[in-house]
A and B are shown apart, each in its own frame.
Chain A
């Protein structure tokens, strides 16, 4: 690749690529995000390539392994362009048939089409599927159109136009003003204005200045940052380039979780290619602006998502936060002015520069602008990543996009915002989602995990789960967080084991208040949220656990027992054979019985029974 030396050269290179692309040329796009890869989509990509080779179609058909499309539930996904035909649950051996039938002969393969679960109709095009139709995929939508390892692909969809625009004479102050006007708020949890943070870092005395991309996405149940970094690393780099230029920084860091090997790989390749093209390095496009990026792999500590802990980790120390009397904008990495933002926030920057702050402001609510990517997971039909405008209701996300709860079970709550977020019950489903509305009901935007729970989820257990998670991940530096979590976990464990006592709930509330007041960092300060929100909306469930010693959801091991429904059991003997305690008896083709004395509630029979005859009481 030859180096480009001016914005004009990059522009002409971009146009050259665009002109050389034939929009009518058949292109088979296979989703190769982590979800689809787990289904084996890499093999599918290989099969498509081999098939193209075999049929001498090289150069006539393009095969593209793209980043995550978001609809992980139906993977492996294949989209055939230019017709935008959408195939789902594609078998690894379907490559030959798809090329022969669909690409060459224009025939649709019926069995691979998506069936709308409501209307039972088959849907042909990707953009007509309800899951996608209700979304607004401004940031995430590009993933499907590019091979994450191809810089040309990114240029072909207009990538680096924002970089060209700013280097063609936009002043740093004007860029900051644009971001401020757009009202872009941090997508990593805090929700602070990105423009204000940039301005503070630019104005802070001291050189050099650093920028950091926080890709230490530790929230369980959230994976949008990973999918962006995997699927469109150039977009993140472009955002960082613009930020660095506006702030006056020459070095950027990308702190990425080591648990995300594909993201590490793709961003490493992207940085390498950007250097070769001359958009990273010294004197970028002849502007006199130098910028380069260092990729740092995290060590596996949730607390490192907290900015001061992350900075400590980059400096080679253990990731313990410090009190923020002075913000990183003034004294951050190596005590120099540092701007730190999350992946998704960086990804929004090129969009704002290209289309303008006013356009961006037109999307969203009063104080929350633009879109947000949510990870819609848990007990939901259409698991996946969804990008929606701020202000959409939870009901629309869960039912219209998510397709509701599997097996016709009853919705119970949705947990928003990761371990520091809160559970929102059905009565608040019509809540318009934005930063402020979520805080008001005791939850938070957080990183955008949206975990749906049904009637078989126990809310006390969920609270215990999050507290257990945070207890493990607490760095232990400050007492309120370290000891508070330990005590809360003990109380919750007691309740779940049937040793709950009167006053436990009140004690939990008291500890929570103290932790919120006195913890050093946001991890401790927001840790009580899962407990407080479940108490607020599901106090009765706590009471049932404490006073009746019952867990109606069938989760807390000591508070229920399994029995076999006489009317359902057909005596297949499966449960009897697999029971590790030999607690089940019964002859073949006769109703079986569980001996409650021997049963250890391990749940093996419950998960095995095909007739749902094993029940909970």
Chain B
């Protein structure tokens, strides 16, 4: 881990001004900001660990918890909101049995909402593992979840 962290910091010439991008790269490498990595960054750059936690909790891009294998981001921008995103959000939360911002216990899914993806023409939008799905509805999201291996109760014949 030491060499990997060092490599990231070298990319920014150990410049403390680049703390945010450095943490972004650390997060990319380990999928979340784990304690050990943060300690290393703190030691290499000689910044207090509290400052790193300040950034880690302030910016939305960072997670201090491990993230799921599949990342689902639901756009809750205004355009998507008026086109009915709240219902879709409730449905995903019901199916995955987590709230937005949480990860399922089996580390399969992380579900979160984002404020605007800037593709309002296609709203409501769901991004699954980096892939955009436009004009989604409750049944479309259930299909996507099913494809990713989630048992979707309400989609079964009763």
Contact = CB atoms under 8 A, between A and B. Distances in A.
Are A and B genuine complex partners?
Answer: yes
Interface of A: 34-35, 37-39, 72-73, 75, 217-223, 226-227, 258-260, 296-302, 313-319, 375, 377-379, 383-384, 415, 418, 449, 451, 453, 457, 462, 465-466, 469, 473, 475, 576-580, 582, 602-604, 607-608
Interface in B68-107: 76-79, 81-84, 87, 90-91, 94
A375 B122 CA distance: 13
Contacts of B91: 602, 604
B19 interface: yes
Interface of B: 16-21, 23-24, 51, 54-55, 58-62, 76-79, 81-84, 87, 90-91, 94, 114-123, 125, 132-134, 137-139, 153-155, 157-158
Which of A217, A259, A260, A603: most chain B CB closer than 10 A? A259
A222 B58 contact: no
A608 B138 contact: yes
Nearest to B113: A472
8 contacts: A38-B119, A223-B118, A223-B119, A227-B118, A299-B20, A301-B60, A318-B54, A319-B58
A378 B79 CA distance: 4
A147 B19 CA distance: 33
Contacts of A75: 121
B116 A457 contact: no
Nearest to B123: A377
A469 B60 CA distance: 13
Contacts of B79: 220-221, 377-378, 383, 451
A296 B82 contact: no
A221 B59 contact: no
A90 to B, nearest CB: 15
B59 A299 contact: yes
A299 B60 contact: yes
A299 B138 contact: no
Nearest to A476: B58
B100 to A, nearest CB: 11
A578 B82 contact: no
Which of B17, B20, B51: most chain A CB closer than 10 A? B20
A72 B114 CA distance: 20
A227 B121 CA distance: 13
Given A218-B115, A302-B115, A72 B120 contact: yes
B121 A377 contact: yes
Given A259-B117, A318-B59, A297 B87 contact: no
B116 A582 contact: no
Given A39-B134, A218-B115, A299-B24, A580 B153 contact: yes
A223 B55 contact: no
Nearest to B75: A220
Nearest to A582: B158
Given A220-B76, A318-B58, A603-B138, 9 more contacts: A35-B121, A220-B115, A299-B24, A299-B60, A301-B59, A315-B17, A377-B79, A378-B78, A578-B139
Contacts of A39: 122, 134
Contact of A221 (B60, B120, B137, B139): B120
Contacts of A218: 115-116
Contact of B158 (A316, A378, A577, A608): A577
Contacts of B134: 38-39
Contacts of A577: 157-158
Contact of B120 (A37, A223, A260, A300): A223
B24 A451 contact: no
Contacts of B16: 316
A519 B137 CA distance: 39
A316 B54 CA distance: 11
Given A300-B60, A314-B17, A451-B82, A34 B55 contact: no
A582 B157 CA distance: 12
A554 to B, nearest CB: 11
Which of B16, B81, B114: most chain A CB closer than 10 A? B81
Contacts of B137: 607
A297 B20 contact: yes
B59 A300 contact: yes
B132 A221 contact: no
Nearest to B95: A580
What 9 pairs between A and B have smallest CB-CB spacing? A299-B59, A223-B118, A72-B121, A220-B77, A300-B60, A377-B120, A383-B121, A220-B116, A318-B58
Contacts of A227: 118
Contacts of B54: 317-318
Contact of B20 (A296, A418, A469): A296
Contacts of B62: 299
B109 to A, nearest CB: 19
A469 B115 contact: yes
A608 B139 contact: yes
A27 B20 CA distance: 42
Nearest to B155: A578
A39 B133 CA distance: 8
A356 to B, nearest CB: 33
Contact of A415 (B78, B84, B155): B78
Which of B117, B121, B155: most chain A CB closer than 10 A? B121
